[in-house]
Amino acid sequence: MTEPSHPNHILVTGGCGFIGANLVPLVESSGYAVRVLDNLSKGSTDYLKGLNADIRIGDIRDRVAVAAALDGIDAVIHLAASGSVVESVADPEDNFDVNVRGTFVMLDEARKARVPRFIFASTGGALMGNAEPPVDETSLPRPISPYGSSKLCGEAYCSSFAVAYGMSITALRFANVIGPRSWHKKGAVTAFAKALLEGRPITIYGDGSATQDLLMVDDLCQGIRLALETSLPGFNVFHLASGREVSVGELARLMCETAGKPDHPIEFREKRAGEVERNFAAYERAKASLGFNPKHRLEDALAETWRWMESRESVASTMSR
């Protein structure tokens, strides 16, 4: 395929969700014309108010909607996914349908439309499973949840399409992402923030020793932008991570302190199936090849996330009166 020197027109799937709502303003401000494809199952067009993005309501499994959204596009950033480990354990078939079949449809229609560049949102911890951390791009994937398996399948199709059809495809393995517009996200920070806001005890599944690698969404989006602007032949994989490992117990304590409620109660329950014990990745390859270098300290990222959560809850309470 003939690749444009600069991919001016990009399609962001899932652009109305948490990451997309933070990414679209960034790439627009960098001079890109952005089209969004989202079925609004989790996101909201309100997140993109005031922007120039061309928003198309549709599902990534709908070939007609995907083909129409790809018309005139130079590059795809494929964020849309069913992203919950717990939900994937409860309903693995739905997770497969969205993440594997949906990604295949996106790749196949991009191939037909001769879109030369494709960025796939993968995962770090869920895909690597309980591999000894810190993991990197040479570590052997061993997913322990259907969600992790679905992302590994997606990476496999990305690799084959890159080689078979001459596409430039980059898989970015995200750490646990936090930041504004994450109310619907199925992660520990969101769950802890909601418990703090609603006056409920924070619930930890397991003994609190499991670890996470938390990355501020602004840093993640800069990594995606760098991948978009770095033309690499074939298939390439990069971990986008924070470089810091934190236990879930420590994370709960930090959230309580951030909220000004250091004595907020914490309850421990039985560990859930499919969740990784240690999640920590090295990002040296992304730094060397893309120039990726996260700027936000965990404490600052938690504070910014909490401020947004608190503000959103305050607005919602006012509107419900």
pLDDT in tens, 198-220: 999 999 999 999 999 999 999 99
The predicted structure's pLDDT at residue 186 = 87
The confidence band for 172, taking pLDDT boundaries of 50, 70 and 90, is very high
Determine the average pLDDT of the residues in 47-65.
97
C-alpha–C-alpha distance, residues 39 and 3, integer Å: 29
3-state SS of 222-278 is HHHHHHHHCCCCCEEEEEECCCCCEEHHHHHHHHHHHCCCCCCCEEEECCCCCCCCC
Residue 315 pLDDT > 60: no
pLDDT tens digit sequence for 71-111: 999 999 999 999 999 999 999 999 999 999 999 999 999 99
* ∠ Cα 231 236 241 (to 5°): 100
User: Residue 7's pLDDT is what?
Assistant: 60
What's residue 312's pLDDT? 81
What structural domains and CATH numbers belong to the chain?
9-178+215-240 (3.40.50.720), 188-211+246-277+296-320 (3.90.25.10)
Is it the case that residue 4 has pLDDT exceeding 50? Answer: no
Tell which phi-psi region holds residue 233, choosing left (phi > 0), alpha (psi between -120 and 50) or beta.
beta
| pLDDT number for residue 319 | 34
pTM: 0.94
Q: What span, in angstroms and rounded, lies between the C-alpha atoms of 116 and 1?
A: 6
Per-residue CA distances from 112 to 38, 70, 106, 163, 295 (Å): 21, 10, 10, 15, 38
